[in-house]
Amino acid sequence: MQNVIQLANINKHYGHFALDNINLTLPAGEIMGLVGVNGAGKSTTIRILMGLIEADSGSVEVLGHQLPDAQVAAKRQVGFASEDMRLYKHQDLKWHMDFVRGFYPEWDADYARMLLQKFRLNPTQAIKGFSHGQRVKASLLLLLARRPRLLILDEPTTGLDPVARSEMLEELADILRDENRSVLFSSHNTHDVEQLSDSITFLHDGHILASQGIECFLDKWRNVRCTGQATAEALAELQPAHVRQNGSVWHIKMDNFQPSVLEAIKAQGLEVVDVMRMSLEEIFIATVKKDARYEH
Amino acid sequence: MPDQLFLSQTDNRPMYLQVVEQIKLKIMAGDWPDGHALPSIRELAAATKVSVITIKRAYSELEQAGLIITRPGRGSLVAEGMGQDALRHQELHHHIVKLLEAADKLGIDNHTLQQQLAEALKQRQTPPASE
């Protein structure tokens, strides 16, 4: 099987929000980061992927199974976690581990023990005494020890302290060793997803703004700082993503940068001072602002 | 201990270039001699905690630069004759090119440059033993 996730032309309408023609593909063995502001549609997309809500139209395929019809077969091999999932607060982690183990014969007890140690979790303490970070790590342990082929994590790093976040990313990195395992994880924070992700999808206001390999984003975007006199109309020929001017200083953000652009800028009478790479966060913000619908 | 690279989040170069630099450093330091087998792409990605695609890109850059050789199905090796010494000279050459560019930009002619270089060598407090 080539793709572990295949969403085609997904639409879902609510009163005040709509997912608009979502197409998303995750090849086996890859990690994809789904980035969007709060309310962009990340959770709705993930819930459709998990068969928790049904799309109005379009097709959903997970691990080769058509959803929602074959969701039981798909979910055996999918590990899913979201913020609104709760553990039983009066039970301890060991109880949860035994519980999950009963459903999944693939449960890896050695790996679970290793994760207990690594995450410094006490298996015999009732969940209600756990901090938020400990609960998130406990949920992750319950998922990882099943060794699912596909992990779908909705905002796994939200609300975690820097150390817990780093521990979580370290465990996700370990999944990279196996070329048959894949991850889709969402965040409103580009920093959390950019390091591990092979590809990044920007979701905004219910539609996909961009979805490509992370290197493509970083290669194509540049912030060119120039000085001199020019007009924004003339610069529009270069098809910049965004132009800002203050006095004789110009910042031109390009999303289709090639060295020849610099000659074209000079031809407009500007002096190029420097050409800066952009962080994924800057690229995300510029992409959202460039989106025509942002204006309304 | 498995091979692992140390990358920085505040380094503003792209990740794959940091990986290229770190691997060059390992070759220059002699940790990875001629013919040394590099870790697999997935292994290095997991150990370094960066995406597979980043390591892939770094390996292909290193291959284009002739530093490593990749054989399908057998992984990558440090290219013969591309070990420590060759790389050290290459690295120095890179700095010399930078120096010449700087001199051009500042409008300093060859003669003055040579004089200044000779002066700087003379003033250097602890000359390393000649090889």
The predicted-structure confidence for A208-257, as pLDDT tens digits, reads as follows 999 998 888 888 999 999 998 888 888 888 889 988 888 889 999 999 89
* pLDDT over 90 at A96, yes or no: yes
Comparing B124 with A139, which gets the higher pLDDT?
A139
pLDDT band at A130 (very low <50, low <70, confident <90, very high): very high
Tell me the chain B residues in contact with residue A214 when contact means C-beta distances shorter than 8 Å: 51, 53-54
Q: Residue B50 is nearest to which of A177, A179, A195, comparing CB atoms?
A: A195
Closest among A216, A224, A259, A219 to A241, alpha carbons compared: A224
Q: Residue B49 is nearest to which of A195, A199, A215, comparing CB atoms?
A: A195
> What are the Cα distances from residue B60, in Å, to A14, A294, B7, B67?
46, 39, 18, 10
Tell if the CB–CB gap between A177 and B52 is shorter than 8 Å. Answer: no
Quick check: A180 contacting B, CB < 8 Å? Answer: no
> What are the Cα distances from residue A127, in Å, to A93, A114, A123, A143, A265?
7, 19, 9, 16, 60
Return the pLDDT at A296.
44
The residues pairing with A253 across neighbouring beta strands, listed in sequence order, are A223, A242
Q: What was the ipTM of the complex prediction?
A: 0.76
Return the pLDDT at A90.
95
Cα–Cα distance between A276 and A266 in angstroms, integer? 17
Span A31-74, pLDDT tens digits: 999 999 988 999 999 999 999 999 999 999 999 999 888 989 99
Span B67-105, pLDDT tens digits: 899 988 888 999 887 666 777 787 788 889 999 988 888
Tell if the CB–CB gap between B45 and A179 is shorter than 8 Å. Answer: no
Contact A47, A78 (CB under 8 A): no
Contact A127, A142 (CB under 8 A): no
Query: Quick one: tokens of B38?
Result: 């590099």
Tell me the DSSP string of B79-90: PTT-SHHHHHHH
Decide: helix, strand or coil at residue A95.
helix
Return the pLDDT at A192.
84
Quick check: A150 contacting B, CB < 8 Å? Answer: no
**A:185-224 residues touching chain B, CB 8 A cutoff:** 191, 195-199, 213-215, 218
Tell if the CB–CB gap between B51 and A198 is shorter than 8 Å. Answer: yes
Distance from CA of B40 to the nearest CA of A (A): 9
Q: Which regions of chain B are under pLDDT 50?
A: 131
Tell me the chain B residues in contact with residue A175 when contact means C-beta distances shorter than 8 Å: 46
Span A71-92, pLDDT tens digits: 899 999 999 988 777 899 999 9
Tell me the chain B residues in contact with residue A218 when contact means C-beta distances shorter than 8 Å: 14
Q: Residue B46 is nearest to which of A173, A198, A277, comparing CB atoms?
A: A173
Q: Residue A177 is nearest to which of B42, B53, B57, comparing CB atoms?
A: B42
Provide the residue type at A86 as one letter: R
Tell if the CB–CB gap between A169 and B14 is shorter than 8 Å. Answer: no
Average pLDDT over residues A196-200: 92
Decide: helix, strand or coil at residue A129.
helix
* pLDDT over 70 at A1, yes or no: no
Span A146-190, pLDDT tens digits: 999 999 999 988 888 888 888 888 888 888 888 889 999 999 888
Mean pLDDT of chain A: 90
Contact A52, A217 (CB under 8 A): no
Tell if the CB–CB gap between A169 and B49 is shorter than 8 Å. Answer: yes
Closest among A149, A26, A130 to A79, alpha carbons compared: A149
Helix (H) or strand (E) holding B122, with range, is helix B110-123
